[in-house]
Amino acid sequence: MKTIQFREAIAEAMSEEMRRDETVYLMGEEVAEYNGAYKASKGMLDEFGPERVIDTPISELGFAGIGIGSAMNGNRPIVEFMTFNFSLVGIDQIINNAAKMRQMSGGQFNIPIVFRGPTASAGQLAATHSQAFESWYANTPGLKVIVPSNPYDAKGLLKAAIRDDDPVIFMESEQMYGDKGEVPQEEYVLPIGKADIKREGEDVTIVSFGKIIKEAYKAAEELEKEDISVEIIDLRTIRPMDHETILNSVKKTNRLIILEEAWPFGNVSTEITYQVQLQAFDYLDAPIIKLNTADTPAPYAPNLLAEWLPNSQDVIKAVKKVLYK
């Protein structure tokens, strides 16, 4: 094993796949000359040249469409959005073309394309740059949605996404690019659609994903001092969702908390809640609790932002509520 940063895991995944398959290339704003806005493509221009690591104009609608057309013609583009907030400019191409082309062409066209970049809040970036879009894209048939929380998962899942014959939304976090973690020296690929039990527990299940899962880890460590055993499931893939792992855990612990950095209305937590009450209602000893951001645009002031986001203390209170109510 070796220890690398999240951004290095992303760069390694892309570089290894580009060496393996000459139809894979990267395009986006500042991915080439600047080594990526977050240095997640550092060194790739030097190795692969400007025909495979391509700086684009500030035109998400344009280069999203170019990538889709390229995928229809046999390539495997990786399209980087500097932030998924900017993907809204190109969302017509993603939803109405990438997601639907296979069905609308009667299976004549696969769209093997990856759209990747940061999602959710990243500090004081104001309301229009602090939005979580996982549930938006997961709502669309034809798209796969991945949100890793650590370098190991990021590398293995990005390699799988690049090899997939369907369009994949791969969401990262600006606040995780410097996170370090162990990854194998040898090549590995992780399956899309399989959650991971990050921590075994007996008393309560917490389901989360992305950078907010760190708050679950903090809470679990504190609760362990009170002999409360927490099981933490990292979804990793939002669509397709691994219902089986969640249900099996709930059947063991009989309690469920879902921690998600997103607005509370119609989000990923809502879907999990529905599936669990549908398939494991009789196993629940307490109501399911969803922990989300406040139902407002993200504030700019740091003290308000801290209140807006769910945190480890919120998790601890929720655990005690489902245990002792």
CA distance 182 to 151: 7
Q: With 0-12 CB in 10 A as exposed, 13-18 as middle and 19+ as buried, what is 200?
A: exposed
The one-character DSSP state at 138 is: H
- Out of 60, 80, 215, 261, the active site residue is 60
- Give the amino acid at 100: K
Distance CA 103, CA 26 (A): 26
Q: Over the range 93-115, which residues count as b (16 or more CB within 10 Å of their CB) and which as e? A: bbbebbbbbbeeeeeeebbbbbb
Residue with tokens 């008393």: 203
Tokens 């504190």 belong to which residue?
222
For residue 27, list its beta bridge partners: 54, 79
The encoded tokens of residue 308 equal 């807006």
Is the distance from CB of 256 to CB of 269 less than 8 angstroms? no
Give how far the C-alpha of residue 29 lies from the chain's centroid of Cα atoms, to the nearest Å.
20
| Active-site annotation holder among 8, 17, 29, 129 | 129
Tokens of 105: 């062409």
Backbone angles phi, psi at 169, to 5 degrees: -95, 115
Query: What are 81's two structure tokens?
Result: 């959005």
Verify whether residue 129 is a known catalytic residue: yes
3-state SS, 101-135, equals HHHHCCCCCCCCCEEEEECCCCCCCCHHHCCCCHH
Indicate which residues carry an active-site annotation.
Answer: 60, 129
